[in-house]
Amino acid sequence: MLRNITLSVFLLILCFSARIIFAQAVSVSVFPAEIIQGEPFLAQIEGATEPSSIKKLTFDGKKVGIFMYQGKPSALVGIDLNKKPGAYELLAEFSDGSIIKKSINIGARKKIETPLGIPDKLGGNTKASQDKLIATLVAEKKSLANIRTGSKALWTEKFIPPLKEIFVTNPYGPSRITGAYSIPHKGTDYRAKIGTEVMAVNRGIVRVTKFYRNYGNTIVIDHGLGLMTYYLHLSKIKVEVGDVVEQRQIIGLSGDTGYTQGAHLHLNVNINNIAVDPVKFFELFQ
């Protein structure tokens, strides 16, 4: 009887010691070091080699998907443009029961406002066209939310910008003032004359190919784990819903369809329905 008790105590001590050693060997790293509203970050589990060793990874209480990157279990987290600045918890729970917590500080983004009129093709700068713009933007945004996503990462390579030549004409973040309304710009506009070839930024499945009043000809690609890229204002769409596209594949041609004041490509990057800064997103993979 005494022998059995001694053995049980020994096993408990051994298990407890193993957890301590594991916790000391494994850590969570975050890139970039400084994060502000509207930006994504990459979390990686240092010292772990298999996603199966991680039971759950959450940020601010919400579960995030895990994929392998640079030989490490990794996760992409999006910070909403309007998320309250402050400290939030990133928590990794492992299959052996151990837990690692890391505090992530989210800084405030500088508020910028710019005027933006309504083109004649959408009614011009009248109160009626302003009201219609907001109503239709809400409807379009709703129709593009909660798109079906794959349970695994569909990509293996780094993400790349959607054009061969990159020049940002309008960045992510500013609020566009249109009459009495303020419309946040939750994507990046790239210079692209009509007919410029637009590439898939990585491997994925086409979920949407549709014309919208404000977004124009639109393509949405699902890269898995809640990561989506949106390509707006196209003059031509060259893929169909359900197509599996590869990185650098030509999916369409840029244009000026929808709510535009000139030809360009508007790109959105969404992580679990949170639109983040595309430029900062691509920097995670440099």
Residues 6 or more apart from 204 whose CB is under 8 A from it? Answer: 154, 155, 221, 222, 223, 224, 229, 244, 245
Pairing of strands 175-178, 113-115: parallel
Rounded Cα distance, 232 and 144, in Å: 12
CB 136 within 8 A of CB 143: no
Choose among 198, 209, 201: nearest CA to 252.
Answer: 198
Sign of CA pseudo-dihedral 264, 269, 275, 281: negative
**Helix or strand (DSSP H, E) at 113:** strand 113-115
Residues paired with 276 in a beta bridge: 269
SS3 label, residue 223 = strand
Residues paired with 41 in a beta bridge: 77
CB 68 within 8 A of CB 98: no
C-alpha R_g of the chain: 23
Q: What are phi and psi of 73, to 5 degrees?
A: -60, 130
CB 233 within 8 A of CB 265: yes
The total number of residues written for the chain in this structure: 286
Query: Which residues are catalytically annotated?
Result: 264
